[in-house]
Amino acid sequence: MKTWSIKKIFKWIAIVVVAIVVIISLLVLYLAQKPKPETIIYGMSFNTMYADELGLDWKETYDAILDDLGVRHLRLAAHWPMVEPTPGVYNFEEMDYQVKRAEEVGAEVVFAVGRRLPRWPECHVPSWAEGLSKEEFQARQLAYMETVINRYKDSPAITVWQVENEPFLEVFAFEHCGVLDTDFLDKEIALFRSLDATRPLLITDSGNLGTWYGAFSRGDMFGTSVYVHFWNPELGQFRTFLPPWFYRVKDNVMRLVYGDKETVLIELSAEPWLIEPVVNVPLETQFTRMNLEKFEDILAYAEGTHYEKQYLWGAEWWYWLKLQDRPEMWNRGKELYVKEATQ
């Protein structure tokens, strides 16, 4: 019987390893193929609660985003504590104004409803609901959602409903959100579809940490967040190690498994990563976490993901800076929206 030498065995092992690496590389190269859009459509998230935290007049800030910055693609959020501050008593002042103004300027709105919506602490619950039993809590949440959907479903400005925000991201803000109840999430989705089947339903997941399959498989549209520059007390500042093509690969894998659907970059952060309110942090520190150089890097990175629609995150901070005689971020953002409007 022919015996193989150790040298020959290692040679064949090396050949197999190289072949596997080549096959995987070709597969990744194939999955990274995604048409580059001729024009990127830039949107913007707006959050009344964040404007309030910055000490801004939220109406003035929102109007400036529409009229001066020129944003025409918005993501708005109907936070439960703001909309239903006391049981059964609704406050629609903020959302009525925002939707009406969007209609007036011909803007398109992604309208988010649910318990987990943009901005820390991620899950926003009115204080009166915190002690309710699980069954009663979920019933009251569905009632709030139904009331909001019915109030705004006839608005021509709203083009997409968003249910919750990154609901499958349990590793972040776990102390506020707990374990995801997927059965209840499916009830929320069913509620949207029963009340308004005319608009697509967007479900989102984290680009850096999410697996995507839970959100992608359930929604009519899928949205991912993209964070490029980070900071935390242990590691300090760092930049993502993920290349832009990672998002293209992930996107194509989901399409192969769950079918083709519209996908968007729903949250592109362009504000400083902080663990305390902005107004308590010196400007010098803020600008070490986010500045024009980082902003340009973020825009270039996001361009490499090949998403046609990209919703920025941070206009409230830009406006606050502008009022501090630091308009650099605002002016750079304005260039983006003016360019889009003229194309």
CATH number of the domain residue 72 falls in: 3.20.20.80
Peptide bond between residue 121 and the one before it cis (omega within 30 degrees of 0): yes
pLDDT at position 341 is 63
- In a domain? residue 20: no
- In a domain? residue 120: yes
pLDDT at position 167 is 97
- In a domain? residue 4: no
Range of the domain at 51: 32-342
For the whole model, what pTM was predicted?
Answer: 0.93
Low-confidence ranges of the chain (pLDDT < 70): 1-4, 30, 339-343
pLDDT at position 342 is 58
- In a domain? residue 100: yes
Distance, in Å, from the CA atom of 214 to the CA atom of 224, rounded to the nearest integer, reads: 13
- In a domain? residue 244: yes
pLDDT at position 21 is 76
Assign 3-state DSSP to the chain and report helix, strand, coil percentages, each to 5.
Answer: 50, 20, 35
Q: How many CB atoms lie within 10 A of CB 266?
A: 30
- In a domain? residue 40: yes
pLDDT at position 10 is 78
- In a domain? residue 18: no
Number of domains in the chain: 1
pLDDT at position 17 is 81
- In a domain? residue 11: no
Pairing of strands 236-239, 229-232: antiparallel
pLDDT at position 4 is 67
Distance, in Å, from the CA atom of 115 to the CA atom of 24, rounded to the nearest integer, reads: 40
